[in-house]
A and B are shown apart, each in its own frame.
Chain A
Amino acid sequence: MIRVEQLNVRAGAFSLHNVSFEIVAGEYAVLMGRTGSGKTTLLETICGLRRAVAGRISLNGRDVTERSPGERGIGYVPQDRALFLTMTVRENLGFGLRVRGDEVSAIQARVENLAASLGITPLLDRKPHALSGGEAQRVALGRALALAPGVLCLDEPLSGLDDDTRGEMHSLLRAIHAQTRATILHVTHHIADAQQLATKLLRLQDGGVREEPAPLK
């Protein structure tokens, strides 16, 4: 569950005022809004990468407003994927597990399991610069899923993909949602993403968030 209450955020000259919304546990929420409306700013604040001036953020009933990003238990996929360029796909997937101090054999098993479910097993020993956009997106998703987070924050995860790859990614995201039952907040400005994926539709406009009826598939 993601609950945002009276959130105020400032990012340079831009600001969000008294933003409030709630996403029930296990929902797939799509947040839409025009370019520059503050979607990424809001997502970064929920992830703990940007400080809130005022307000409260709770995840699964726990107030995380003052918690560090790592303590929030969020899987984050930024718009540009931001894969770790010096690491192989295998190392990217296992990064969070290594930081947590998991045993090597457990990391290996989890990475192979993730790679199989995302269809990237043949890519495990490649470096990010040798991946296509769709492949890089799968790796970024796998890296975020490695720690089995209760909440997933996806920032324009399908940007820059061709129509076929987009369709494949819709199916993959639906499968991930069904499998993990994580609460997902997916930021996009493509209505097709909302039509394909959303169980809840939110719109960010004029510095505030309002709920809209979920679009028909």
Chain B
Amino acid sequence: MLGGTYVALIAAMVLADIFYISPSHLGKALASREIRYAIQLSLVTCTITAALSLLVAIPLGYLLARGNFRGKALVDAIIDIPIVLPPLVIGLSLLILFQLKLGGQSLESWLTRMGFPVTYRVPAVILAQFAVCGAFAVRTMRVSFEQINPRSEQVALTLGCSQAQAFWRVTLPEARRGVLTAATLAWARALGEFGPILVFAGATRMRTEVLSTSVFLELSVGSIETAVAVSLLMIVAAIIVLALLRFFAAENLFHRGRP
């Protein structure tokens, strides 16, 4: 009964959004240059974040699943930090890290001199998303590697593979559903990220505005209909991503049985 109430609450929230606006509000939002820029930036940054998350999640997830090294518990605990910390704190920590002066100059001023400024720019959006989403991707990949029989890799070694060949030829293909799940999850998390982006990248229109920031900016000027329209766009994107996630998870379950 209590469970049913919760499901009803979620469904009611989405329905309320749908009924609050008319198709014309949605059309108006989509016609806005700023919103179109935010959609575009969201799609680009979420995709880059998902790719970066996979890049760290595959080796790190594998190491945590299979490795037995000194400091493993510490690495494991550090990866939990972005998951448990309030998002605003992650943004603030990133800001402090880039502005902290060491040896007379900050990381940001050094990067600016190198021609790659980060803070309050698009790279800050990606880094803010990545700081959170990477952790979720690592967790997903770790579980995925843990479900794979390590003996397959051992057999590959006896058949002449190096450790790297065994990983690329046997383990990674078996983890492909996990890779897709981790990428999808990272993408979806990145789409919903707001706190760290607001603090580290700002909310400048036509510059660092992503969809979550659009909702905030529209609300702050009292344009509730546009805020709800943008929210609906995010809900649709999230539903598509969740459907893909379910599909990959179901496939994983189906293929789990071993001969």
Contacts and interface: CB of A to CB of B under 8 A. Distances in A.
B252 to A, nearest CB: 12
Contacts of B70: none
A76 B154 CA distance: 9
10 pairs of A and B residues whose beta carbons are closest in the complex = A136-B259, A96-B159, A82-B151, A70-B160, A69-B157, A86-B173, A76-B158, A99-B160, A128-B259, A69-B158
Given A70-B160, A84-B170, 8 more contacts: A69-B157, A70-B162, A74-B158, A76-B158, A78-B151, A95-B156, A99-B165, A146-B159
A47 interface: yes
Nearest to B163: A68
27 contacts: A48-B157, A49-B154, A49-B158, A68-B157, A70-B160, A70-B162, A72-B158, A78-B154, A82-B151, A82-B155, A82-B258, A83-B259, A84-B152, A84-B170, A86-B174, A86-B176, A95-B156, A95-B159, A99-B156, A99-B159, A99-B165, A100-B160, A128-B258, A133-B259, A136-B259, A143-B159, A144-B155
B32 interface: no
A85 interface: yes
A25 interface: no
A85 B258 contact: yes
B176 A75 contact: no
B216 to A, nearest CB: 44
A131 interface: yes
A81 interface: yes
Contacts of B173: 86
Interface in A70-112: 70, 72, 74-76, 78, 80-86, 95-96, 99-100
B160 A48 contact: no
Interface of B: 149, 151-152, 154-162, 165, 169-170, 173-174, 176, 255, 257-259
B259 A147 contact: no
